Amino acid sequence: MAATLQWRCFLLLTLFISISSTPTEQQTLAQIPINFLSSAKTPELVDYMVSIRRRIHENPELGYEEFETSKLVREELDRLGIRYEHPFAVTGIVASIGTGGPPFVALRADMDALALQEAVEWEHKSKVAGKMHACGHDAHVAMLLGAAKLLQEHHSHDLQGTVLFVFQPAEEGGGGAKQMVEAGVVDSVDAIFGIHVSTRYPIGTVASRAGPLLAGSGFFEAVITGKGGHAAIPHHTIDPILAASSIVVSLQHLVSREADPLDSQVVTVGKFEGGGAFNVIPDSATIGGTFRAFSKDSFAQIKQRIEQVVTGQAKVQRCNATINFNPNNKQTYPATVNDASLHEYFLGIAGDMLGTQNLKVMEPLMGAEDFSFYAEKVPGCFFFVGMQSETREPLVASHSPQYQVNEDVLPYGAALHASLAVRYLLEHQPGSATPPEEVIRPHDEL
């Protein structure tokens, strides 16, 4: 109770400071992230987040199948007395703390797992064959619930605006963020932040950059149809294997000979299927792959050229080709682009919490993230939180059966979430706030 009272007094003081600040008062604002990290590292909250993360890890669910994960999140929100709305995009949840009026700031966590068989032997190994949390989404959910617990227990009556907690399904290729956006989740939001744990950076560090951070991503699958026959009389056939091979080689020229060397692009063929016997030319062959780019124009151009190459090269070899840019319902993701001013704001918060020496400038990656759909709609900032430790074995990269999470990262994520939200509300007070009763806000479960 005493700690809660101290936090309330501190928040009221910082609200005054945000209106009229001096260097000394700015130091008080800078203390907010430090206090949050201290609170997040208490044994009670650490144990809470570790327990949440392990329960989710033991019961992984794929995109749009996160029913038990969603239920767990809602049960925790009920225990905390936090209002929420559900469902969005099948299993998604949006919870809220604060006045119900502007400004609105959103924090996002993804909930889905991957179709991998876990190879790590430990007490809380996945109990579901062929499914595993191999990208840290279990940690993301735990950190966001940890932030919600921090804010609800200490600051829910002092927030000068509204914090939305977005628990999203199907980031791994399902485009859950797109469905959340289409459902209106961020219609009234002024800014949104997203966290991803990373094995590339040490514990206690963060990494990001302004502008393009992650590439736009698309997929394709092409079926090349010819005329099968005996391998000993190829002149009586129309060979789709040869046509498909020509297509693969030609696709590699799109980046090496058509793209600006300073404009990063990727075309990769990862699937090639055709035939089942050594001495038979099949009737058809199938190829598939992915393409990536950072700009919309480059992305559209490379997609158009993939279609032209596939159909054109097939004709050269007397075959027909059909191409599908949405195989297995895989979504096309735009590039993830961080808002420049929001990124600067993030650097200020993270620098106050961790020290400026622990802020890493991240080079753009050709990987993709559906946080990009939020950032297209409203100003967004996506960043990575390091979890490598010198005191343990090096962690392997995500999407590996050997993937592990260093649970020491959980307090950092929770504290960053809470700090970003609270300071944003303090520093972005509207001139005349809309009365809360006139604002539609997330409330009871639908």
List, as residue ranges, the binding site for Mn(2+): 135, 137, 172, 196, 399
DSSP at 436: G
Tally of CB atoms within 10 A around 321: 25
Question: Sheet of 380-388: strands edge to edge?
Answer: 83-88, 92-98, 162-168, 104-110, 191-202, 380-388, 206-208, 359-361
In degrees, rounded to 5, the angle at the alpha carbon of residue 411 between the alpha carbons of residues 76 and 134 is: 75
Q: Which residues of 89-113 are buried (b: 16+ CB within 10 A; e: fewer)?
A: bbbbbbbbbbbbbbbbbbbbbbbbb
> Is 219:288 a contact under the CB 8 Å cutoff?
yes
Instruction: Give the length of the chain.
Output: 446
3-state SS, residue 15: helix
Three-point CA angle 125, 129, 132, nearest 5°: 55
Mapped onto helix, strand or coil, the DSSP state of residue 298 is helix
Chain centroid to CA 50: 20
Across 40-73, b (16+ Cβ under 10 Å) vs e yields beeeebbebbbebbbbbbebbbbbbbbeebbebb
Beta-bridge mates of residue 93:
167
- Cβ pair 420, 105 in contact under 8 A: yes
Give the number of other CB atoms < 10 A from CB of residue 334. 20
Class of residue 215 by CB neighbours under 10 A (exposed 0-12, middle 13-18, buried 19+): buried
Known binding positions: 135, 137, 172, 196, 399
